[in-house]
Structure 1
Amino acid sequence: MAQRRLAVLSSHLTQTGPAPPSALGPPPGVSTSRCSSDGGGGGGEIERGGEKGCVFCRIIRGESPAFKLYEDDVCICILDSSPLSLGHSLIIPKLHSPSLESTPPPVVAAMCSKIPILSSCIMKATQSDSFNLLVNNGLAAGQVIFHTHLHIIPRKTGDKLWPSESLRRQPMESNAETVDLVNSIQDLVSSLSIDNCQCDSWIAAKIRSHK
């Protein structure tokens, strides 16, 4: 299973051509409700049936086993059941969202705020010197379980986990196609009506308090 997952992830990464944060409390607006639907399924199969059939929802409710490393009101961190390296872990929000873009920004912020301390602990426990932070968002990107989650993958110098690391990346060309791409993305970003003010204010306040 681990080899199959590595092959899937590598195919999307390969270049083929040119003190626990919970002490701070959750940010405003974060739902801490646990998943309530009946679950099912298994970690090795693609799951896209919402909360029903979601193995992560079953783990959150305590209905399926997992090696839990951390838990607070918003998320949990567990060992991946088919690890790519020793200590490969997942940060999973308790709120069920099938994709990163459908996950409320305060929940994403709460998940990301756990990365520094959890990654540090995982690297120390596995005697690793680095880690990959990975999100497989969507079927084409290798997502298997359709419940938002972040991968923390411990790395050691010279482990050559990703085949793409032996390949050279091609420099970006500054041409009309690149300019059109930049303009298109900028237009889409400026048209968004997402209100992140509350979350941003909470994060800014915490940063000021720690200076």
Structure 2
Amino acid sequence: MSPHEPESTCQFCDIAAGRSPADRVYETDEVLAFLPLAPATMGHTLVIPKVHISDLWHSEMRTLGPVMEASLKVARALKRAFSPDGLNLINSSGVAATQTVFHLHVHLVPRWAGDRVSDFWPEDHPWADPKRAAVAGEIRKHIGEEKNL
């Protein structure tokens, strides 16, 4: 699939519309939470908007708000159900970030000490103060600019 896959060929749109089966765990008019076919850990759950949005960059608060609210509700249920040591909330936007289904989704991945999920952060290499300041300045400069990506 490509980042610009039409809604008519999107597997998550098919699940949201009931055209494809899924193990649903939570649903509202706006969002759906279901188990992935190959979960990383016990309880790994995906949360999606029911409308087709390719990724975080193409989202708006009116869509992202309900996704995050559902993510919190499901995360709390995962904690009660499985008592994990921790939880990863993961969103991948774009091929370079390992997005493979181009429909906005959040992974809720319960974590336990010593589980099979690898550490995905690079080794610790602190940046010098001037580099951090320059990067922060560049981000601040572009906050509030609304452009189509």
TM over 0.5: yes
Once the two structures are superposed, residues 145-166 of structure 1 have per-residue CA deviations (whole angstroms, 9 ceiling, x without a partner) of 000000000111232522347x
1:58 equivalent in structure 2? 14
Q: Which secondary structure state, in structure 1, belongs to the residue aligned with residue 32 of structure 2?
A: strand
Identity %: 27
**Equivalent position amino acid for 1:172 in 2:** W
Once the two structures are superposed, residues 138-189 of structure 1 have per-residue CA deviations (whole angstroms, 9 ceiling, x without a partner) of 1100000000000000111232522347x742223102x3332222111111
2:56 equivalent in structure 1? 100
Q: Which secondary structure state, in structure 2, belongs to the residue aligned with residue 111 of structure 1?
A: helix
Q: Which secondary structure state, in structure 1, belongs to the residue aligned with residue 58 of structure 2?
A: coil
Q: Is the 8 A contact 1:134 1:150 kept in 2?
A: yes
Whole-Å Cα distance in 1 between the matches of residues 82 and 106 of structure 2?
18
Whole-Å Cα distance in 2 between the matches of residues 112 and 91 of structure 1?
8
Q: Which has the larger radius of gyration?
A: 1
Summarize the alignment of residues 1-211 of structure 1 with structure 2, pairs less than 5 Å apart: 46-48=1-3, 49-159=5-115, 161-164=117-120, 168-175=123-130, 177-192=131-146
1:13 equivalent in structure 2? none
Q: Is the 8 A contact 2:2 2:102 kept in 1?
A: yes
> Number of residues paired by the alignment?
146
Name whichever structure is richer in strand by fraction: 2
Unaligned runs of 5+ in 1: 1-45, 194-211
Whole-Å Cα distance in 2 between the matches of residues 147 and 121 of structure 1?
24
Instruction: Detail structure 1 runs of 4+ shifted over 3 Å in the superposition.
Output: 190-193
Unaligned runs of 5+ in 2: none
RMSD: 1.9
Whole-Å Cα distance in 2 between the matches of residues 127 and 179 of structure 1?
39
